Structure 1
Amino acid sequence: MTQTQFDAQNRSNGRQDVILEVRDLEVAFDMDRGKSRVIDSVDFDVQRDEMLGIVGESGSGKSMFASAMLNAVVEPGVATGEVIYHPRDGEPVDVLSLTDTQLEKFRWEEIAMVFQGAMSSWNPTMKIEDHFIETIKAHGKNVEERMAHGRQLIADLYMDPDRVLGAYPHELSGGMKQRTLIALSLILEPRVLVMDEPTAALDLLMQRSIMSLLTDLQERYDLTILFITHDLPLVAGIADRLAVMYAFEFVEYGPSEEVIRNAAHPYTRALLKSVPSVDAPLEEMTTIEGESPDPVNTPDGCSYHPRCPMATQQCRDADPEYHDVGPNRGATCFHWERSADEIQYSLGTEELDPSSIEQVAETKDEDTVVSLEEVDVHFNISGMIDELFGKETIVKAVNQVSLDLHENEVVALVGESGCGKTTLGKTAIGIQKPTGGTVNYRDQDIWAAKDGDGEIPFEEIRRALQIVHQDPGSSLNSSRTIRASLSAPLKRWRPDLNASERETVVYNLLERVGMKPAEDYALRFPHQLSGGEQQRVVLMRALLMSPDLILADEAVSALDVSLRVEMMDLMLNLQQTFDTSYLFISHDFSNARYLTEKSGGRIGIMYLGHLVEIGPAQEIIHNPKHPYTKVLSWATPPLDPDAAREANATKPPIRDIDIPDPTDPPEGCPFHTRCPEAREVCTREMPELRDSDNHSRVACFREEPDHEYWNSEPIDEEAVDLEEPAAGD
């Protein structure tokens, strides 16, 4: 049975009210090497007032499907087939046949889209209010009436309308820009909102906040939402249905909870198994073998068969149609009935194991590679006019942080954007000079060594302290082959090796990280590699320096969730070979937990330049002490539907969504303006990082039973309620 037949059957049973009807949709690009089909004969129905989560790996066709919904495929791409929009009142609209003039009216008024990069969606020379007015006037609507609606939308998204509308884009944080873009997309009250990775660049807390707000906006404004993401846990807890894309078509769809609990297609099950999680057992997380197919040369038969452990000759010869795998569910797999037995995954929550924490604490290697003592890093960002009037604007990026990084240890720093974790990391490896405190490499002051004072030469320290950036493509020389890039550190640091020996080392390492045949990969240029392959090359290049410490700055965040476990496993395997330590920067608790818990490392929590908690991974994840750590734990989306429902029903443990201005941080405890546990003493005293009773160190007065905190008056403010926003909040 085809999906079209499924949908027709469901509509006849009164189970669907379709707002978008997609039939035989194809999006293709003519390329020198052939026709690239990035959407391949897709049939799909979107139901009115539902939130549909569309998930899959990068390159699966998700974004192109979204563009086709608005007839917005960029040239030279061509969309064919039918996209029929069914308004509640009026005749159906064939979106792909609309003229440019008709499309201008259709977009924003009927279907609006929110893109991933909020910054690129704004004109930096225009105030936010002017963007709203320009959009309203372009559609011939009443400015006063629509602006009143816009102000209400901004208030519904927990922002001050006066502040937001009067600001230029650069004056708003990333989360505020993204929320304002959502408000702008709803200014003309469209019926459908297409969201293409709208939270991908945001922190956990802002992601979770926006997702919670979307459910409220959906009900309040009768919206149908298509939420496109590669982050399955993010959307799993709030989507009504999930549709899984692979190789430019939907391979499984159905009610969200049913798909998560009992996925039918082998790809969906493998995807669920590969997602880093704070709940599932580490040993059950595995990567998906192989690569997604080339759109110019998709395999015959089932497109997933080259990667599928269940594939048979039937899968290689024939393309499966949709099989009925449950009520309102379909999957394109011949063998879906045995997929649950052959590809198992877990959604359960692990219990805290105190004995394992004690073992980590007892066996930790105490040899220190890098030691930071009361480090400050402050930046003067005053403009020329400020300087003329003698004014200074100081950003206190790092404040009084002390941290020891040990031999063969993994320490993950987690926190929101702007919290100082990257600045601290760069300070630890000698890239950023501190404005206060000391940074020592093996008891040698790094900056004294740079000035020629010390026993360890600065050049040796630079070799020993390396960095792997988030964007590997920008850190590789586009004009050099992979062999040349990897040979460069060997030429400098291993002069005893001749050209042939260097080539052997490079080829062996490429084989070691799965880039086979090595002779082929060695001659490629960076643009000829996937994102995951580029990241492996950058990691190998750093390791060929034989470093003692690598700063991995968001080193897996740009990768698909299906590749993150593979990359982190590779980092840990190579760690044993090269005897190195990692300082891992992340805003994602799940990634931090995987690396640190698997290696017996630690997680450090940073907030507004302060290290507020640090300890063993299990304790930080499952038994957090600092209120901010609890907020990050709440913001980490669980994959289990029951846990997701419980989390969504829980009042967020925070009083304000937005982080304070780092140029004007709060007095006392930096978190007190957002902390639901804050008391009067927190507004004037700064807590120190102290040993807690759970192998962690915590900077919170609540960990001191005899502190004045317990007799201090609570701050009389309620926590943010994401379910019932107040207008003008």
Structure 2
Amino acid sequence: MATTETTGDRLHQGSDTILEMRGTTVQFGMDRGVSRVLDDVSMDIERDEILGIVGESGSGKSMFASALLDAVAPPGELSGEITYYPRDGDPVDVLNLTDEELRLLRWEDISMVFQGAMSSWNPTMKVGDHFLETLRAHNFEAEAGMDRAHQLLSDLYLDPERVLTSYPHELSGGMKQRALIALSLVLEPEVLVMDEPTAALDLLMQRSILKLLQEVQAKYDITLIFITHDLPLVAELADRLAVMYAFEFAEVGPTDEILEEATHPYTRALLNSTPNLSTSVEAMQPIDGSSPDPVDTPEGCSYHPRCSLATEECRDSPPEFRETGPSHHAACYHWEQAAEEIPFTREVPDEIPSADDESVTGAAARRNDDAEPVLSLEDVEVHFEINKGMLNFWRESETVRAVDGISLDIPENESIALIGESGCGKTTMGKTAIGLQRPTGGSVSYRGQNIWDARDGKGKIDIAWRNIRRSLQIIHQDPGSSLNPNKRVMHLLEIPLKKWKRDLNHQDRRARILGMLEHVGMSPPEDYANRFPHQLSGGEKQRVALIRALLMNPDIILADESISALDVSLRIEMMNLFLELQEEFNTSFLFISHDLSNARYLTEKSDGLIGIMYLGELVEIGPAKQIINDPRHPYTKALRWATPDLLPDDGDEEMPMTKIDIPDPKNPPSGCRFHTRCPVAREACTNESPEPMEVTPGQRVACFREDDTHEYWQSEPIAEEAAFDTAAAETTGDD
């Protein structure tokens, strides 16, 4: 994209600009050349607007935020012009401020919220002391400032007294993030820049915080710049979207127009590659190719190597921004052909799948055969004792009921996704299923053999522990941490073959590894086999981890948040690879995720199941189409509401829960554990825990509302409190 003196004017929404960027570049000198991570960018940001900045990892989003505050870390070089127009006063040349003037600007005029809430807090200071320190450092009157802090925390549905007197570790992730937003606003800035502020949070917390941000933004008249790689997440929040590709803007326009009538081929491909709930799973397609290297960005249009519309003109010279609609611009020569070349498929189901729908009954019938399941969990419990031991003899021990009475069968060639908030026990259950965590109650059997009897050498053992362990594999959330950084890919993949396939010689092992690398798209395989992990992208590391698991010919692979760290544009590609290899190797997947869109894609494509976990219990399980289109449990409906979509609602729908924060798993509510957050809870829910019952073929729900004869219907409602009531908010636990 070429930047001219008029580029910023073309992106100008109106006359009330608060931040103006012209020809801004950020570059780093490297041994192999100059790395340009922000490339001659111009942009006008309007007062009181919510601007969403979206794009893949490495596209320059975070560098754009750092440049706005002149916060590019050395040895980065920032050039260009950035002007701030305060509501009262003269324009400010941000790049020519002294260190002291810049320090004041960053908190008092333009504030920033970073991705990791925990790293932003001093763990030795109470939250209230952080507010006081910030106020005093900027010579703000402490009493008035703390009054504002109380109001901000209340606006974010937190208990100010509790939060301000707590240490950061005493708050849940969502509470820390909301408190950080309040801290960033305590000095009354005009602009709030948020860089992936909800990336580490669950869907319910993400959606809740977005709705709170809308309220806070309107109440305090702030300009909000929200940076994310998750396009559906910001779709409901932003007034305007700016799509970044290869360190520059590819398209900018009103949110509704970008979602419905995007004109840049990259934006349209990005939308088609994003897992969501309103697009046919068959229509979702990954983007071919990969993002460019900042040291070697293509000549001409930076997207042309991946674009099906590219011509010689695209390869020779970069396009300028062109008006493609009212206040809508794209840097593309062929924007008028983009819609025909890259069509959208958006579809909202007109009706709920019926019990005799072939897509439902067929999947259920496949699971109801007489074949013995590969893995069977019966009434499994995993309870952890904390504050127990010699060093804690003065503290009473507490029990975390991470998994509490779950039964589940996993057949061959099955895909089961477990969904739920952090602290619900889904990771603990997954690890228990594959023999990495010993249950404290119930049993786990592999092809009829109790795996812990085999592990302990108890009774008759038909299948040795060694064979069980080989058949149950795991792919971790962060593949980089599971790959030895000092070993090449070939060595990493040879290790399991040497241990489990001792009949293979060196040449056989090498041939098998190279064949697998080629099979998963890592070509030329000899090149990738010679690389170290740090020389691989996130998606490539995940492929290596998948190959390592598959080399064991396992029956079941636990994929624990294995795609959550990938860009949305890569998730479809990775899940397609899972499904392709599942068919070839006849492997079952136990897929752990907090993202319902990802779970829907994987399970609907494979006629799999989605299981919903809440505080250690499986509250609903069924075929993907039933769970997505006809959720029965109130908690499943809340997760469905919280899932961001490419066809966002009008924002007026009430949150289907009465509290944001999940109860403490050390002290779960009596009866139905969801009753403290359930908008339809009644007195009967407080006394008795519902048992799962089948409501459609293959779909089981643990809720009294599915039984027309239950006393629930005669008992009194208890959800009289207002939504977001946090009087009894509790901290969360770990998964």
Alpha-carbon separation, structure 2, partners of 1:553 and 1:445: 23
Residue 496 of structure 1, CA deviation = 1.7
Matched residue type, 1:165: L
TM-score with structure 1 setting the length: 0.97
Alignment of 1:433-444 (within 5 A): 433-444=438-449
Q: Which residue of 1 aligns with 2:649?
A: 645
Q: Which residue of 2 aligns with 1:570?
A: 577
CA contact (8 A) 1:281 1:350 kept: no
Matched residue type, 2:118: M
Q: Which residue of 2 aligns with 1:407?
A: 412
Match of 2:710 among 707, 710, 713: 707
Alignment of 1:51-62 (within 5 A): 51-62=50-61
Is 1:686 the counterpart of 2:708 in the alignment? Answer: no
Q: Which residue of 2 aligns with 1:92?
A: 91
Alignment of 1:87-486 (within 5 A): 87-351=86-350, 352-353=352-353, 354-364=357-367, 366-382=371-387, 387-389=392-394, 391-453=396-458, 454-486=461-493
Alpha-carbon separation, structure 2, partners of 1:528 and 1:67: 26
Alpha-carbon separation, structure 2, partners of 1:544 and 1:697: 35
583-592 vs 306-315, which moves further: 306-315
Residue 179 of structure 1, CA deviation = 0.6
Q: Deviations over 1:294-334 (max 9, x none)?
A: 00110111100011111111111111111111111111111
1:654 match: secondary structure: coil
Q: Which residue of 2 aligns with 1:525?
A: 532
Q: 1:3 to 1:185 in 2, by over 3 A?
A: farther
Q: Deviations over 1:168-194 (max 9, x none)?
A: 111101111111110000010100000
Residue 718 of structure 1, CA deviation = 3.4
2:306 match: secondary structure: coil
CA contact (8 A) 2:361 2:697 kept: no
Q: Which residue of 1 aligns with 2:665?
A: 662
Alpha-carbon separation, structure 1, partners of 2:128 and 2:495: 52
Residue 356 of structure 1, CA deviation = 1.1
Matched residue type, 1:674: R
Q: 1:438 to 1:721 in 2, by over 3 A?
A: closer
Q: Which residue of 2 aligns with 1:580?
A: 587
Alpha-carbon separation, structure 2, partners of 1:693 and 1:40: 55
Q: Which residue of 2 aligns with 1:68?
A: 67
Q: Which residue of 2 aligns with 1:626?
A: 633
Unpaired runs of at least 5, structure 2: 731-735
1:536 match: secondary structure: helix
Total equivalences in the alignment? 720
CA contact (8 A) 1:410 1:599 kept: yes
Residue 388 of structure 1, CA deviation = 1.9
Q: Which residue of 2 aligns with 1:558?
A: 565
Q: Deviations over 1:72-125 (max 9, x none)?
A: 111111111111000011111111111111111111100000011001111111
Alpha-carbon separation, structure 1, partners of 2:65 and 2:79: 14
Q: Which residue of 1 aligns with 2:733?
A: none
Alpha-carbon separation, structure 2, partners of 1:184 and 1:10: 31
Residue 5 of structure 1, CA deviation = 2.4
1:244 match: secondary structure: strand
Q: Which residue of 2 aligns with 1:609?
A: 616
Q: 1:490 to 1:280 in 2, by over 3 A?
A: same
Alpha-carbon separation, structure 2, partners of 1:676 and 1:106: 44
CA contact (8 A) 2:48 2:221 kept: yes
CA contact (8 A) 1:118 1:181 kept: yes
Alpha-carbon separation, structure 2, partners of 1:8 and 1:414: 46
Alpha-carbon separation, structure 2, partners of 1:160 and 1:127: 15
Is 1:500 the counterpart of 2:513 in the alignment? Answer: no
Alpha-carbon separation, structure 2, partners of 1:379 and 1:83: 54
Is 1:25 the counterpart of 2:28 in the alignment? Answer: no
Alpha-carbon separation, structure 1, partners of 2:564 and 2:11: 39
CA contact (8 A) 2:157 2:724 kept: no
CA contact (8 A) 1:692 1:698 kept: yes
Alpha-carbon separation, structure 1, partners of 2:8 and 2:174: 37
CA contact (8 A) 2:62 2:195 kept: yes
CA contact (8 A) 1:410 1:581 kept: yes
Residue 384 of structure 1, CA deviation = 5.5
Alpha-carbon separation, structure 2, partners of 1:105 and 1:588: 39
2:376 match: secondary structure: strand
Q: 1:649 to 1:390 in 2, by over 3 A?
A: closer
CA contact (8 A) 1:419 1:609 kept: yes
Q: Deviations over 1:423-478 (max 9, x none)?
A: 00000000000111111111111111011131111111110000000000000011
Matched residue type, 1:398: V
1:545 match: secondary structure: coil
Identity %: 61
Q: 1:698 to 1:10 in 2, by over 3 A?
A: closer
1:375 match: secondary structure: strand
Alpha-carbon separation, structure 2, partners of 1:179 and 1:630: 24
Alpha-carbon separation, structure 2, partners of 1:22 and 1:159: 36
CA contact (8 A) 2:435 2:469 kept: yes
